[in-house]
Amino acid sequence: MEFADGIDKSYVQHPYWLQQVNQVKENSIGGGHGKPGILSITNMPHQCGEKCMTNNMRKKPVQITVTEKCNLKCIYCYEHAKDCGSLTIDKVKSILVHELADPRFDELEIDFHGGEPALAFDVIKPVCEWLWSEPREKPYLCFASTNGTLIQGRIKEWFRKNAKRFWLSLSLDGTREMHNFNRSSSYDAIDIGFFREMWPKQTVKMTISPHTLPNVAEGIKHIHSWGFELTANLAHGMSWPSDLIGVYRDELNKVADFYLSNPQHKPCRIVNFDLKKIGMESLHPEFRKLRRKWCGSGDPMICYAVNGNSYPCQLFAPSSTSANVDSVAERWDFTDIKNFIDPNCKGCCLDGACPTCYGMNYFESGTLHTRPKDMCPFLKCEAFATSYLYGMMLANKARYPIVAELSDADKLGYVRGIEIVQRELADEVMGY
How many Cα neighbours within 13 Å face the side chain of 417? 30
Alpha-carbon distances, residue 362 vs 47, 280, 371, 377 (angstroms): 13, 27, 9, 21
Q: Which is nearer to ligand SF4, 230 or 303 (CB)?
A: 303
Residues 79, 114: Cα–Cα separation, whole Å: 9
Q: Which is nearer to ligand SF4, 175 or 231 (CB)?
A: 231
Alpha-carbon distances, residue 369 vs 52, 57, 361, 373, 432 (angstroms): 18, 22, 6, 12, 27
Alpha-carbon dihedral angle through residues 151, 152, 154, 156, given to the nearest 10 degrees: 50
Nearest distance from C-beta of residue 381 to ligand SF4, angstroms: 10
- Does residue 359 belong to the site contacting ligand SF4 (CB under 6 A)? yes
**Alpha helices (H) in 298-407, listed in sequence order:** 325-331, 358-365, 376-395, 401-404
Q: Interface with ligand SF4 by CB under 6 A: which range of 190-198, 226-234, 291-299, 399-407?
A: 291-299
- Does residue 295 belong to the site contacting ligand SF4 (CB under 6 A)? yes
Nearest distance from C-beta of residue 141 to ligand SF4, angstroms: 17
Residues 33-52 that bind ligand SF4 (CB under 6 A): 46-48, 52
For residue 407, give the amino acid letter. S
Angle of CA points 150, 173, 322, to nearest 5°:
75
**Exactly one of 64, 108, 216, 301 binds ligand SF4 (CB under 6 A); which one?**
301
In contact, 298 and 304? CB cutoff 8 Å? no
Nearest distance from C-beta of residue 396 to ligand SF4, angstroms: 29
Q: Which is nearer to ligand SF4, 11 or 362 (CB)?
A: 362
Q: Which is nearer to ligand SF4, 13 or 282 (CB)?
A: 282
- Does residue 120 belong to the site contacting ligand SF4 (CB under 6 A)? no
Nearest distance from C-beta of residue 362 to ligand SF4, angstroms: 8
**Other beta carbons less than 10 A from residue 84's beta carbon:** 18
- Interface mask (CB under 6 A) for ligand SF4, residues 308-347, using x and -? -----x-x--------------------------x--x--
Residues 336, 281: Cα–Cα separation, whole Å: 19
Q: Interface with ligand SF4 by CB under 6 A: which range of 93-101, 186-194, 276-284, 356-364?
A: 356-364
Q: Which is nearer to ligand SF4, 183 or 380 (CB)?
A: 380
Alpha-carbon dihedral angle through residues 387, 207, 59, 139, given to the nearest 10 degrees: 130
- Does residue 205 belong to the site contacting ligand SF4 (CB under 6 A)? no
Nearest distance from C-beta of residue 371 to ligand SF4, angstroms: 4
Residues 373-392 that bind ligand SF4 (CB under 6 A): 373, 376, 379-380
- Does residue 357 belong to the site contacting ligand SF4 (CB under 6 A)? yes
Nearest distance from C-beta of residue 228 to ligand SF4, angstroms: 21
Nearest distance from C-beta of residue 314 to ligand SF4, angstroms: 6
Alpha-carbon distances, residue 367 vs 50, 67, 321 (angstroms): 21, 27, 13
Nearest distance from C-beta of residue 352 to ligand SF4, angstroms: 8
**Exactly one of 99, 109, 173, 351 binds ligand SF4 (CB under 6 A); which one?**
351
Long-range contacts of 217-224 (CB under 8 A, 24+ apart): 217/251, 217/254, 217/255, 217/258, 218/174, 218/175, 218/178, 219/173, 219/174, 219/175, 219/178, 220/174, 220/255, 220/258, 220/268, 221/258, 222/174, 222/175, 223/172, 223/174, 224/258, 224/262, 224/265
**Exactly one of 14, 33, 276, 371 binds ligand SF4 (CB under 6 A); which one?**
371
Q: Which residues bind ligand SF4 (CB under 6 A)?
A: 46-48, 52, 295-297, 301, 313, 315, 342, 345, 348, 350-351, 354, 357-359, 371, 373, 376, 379-380
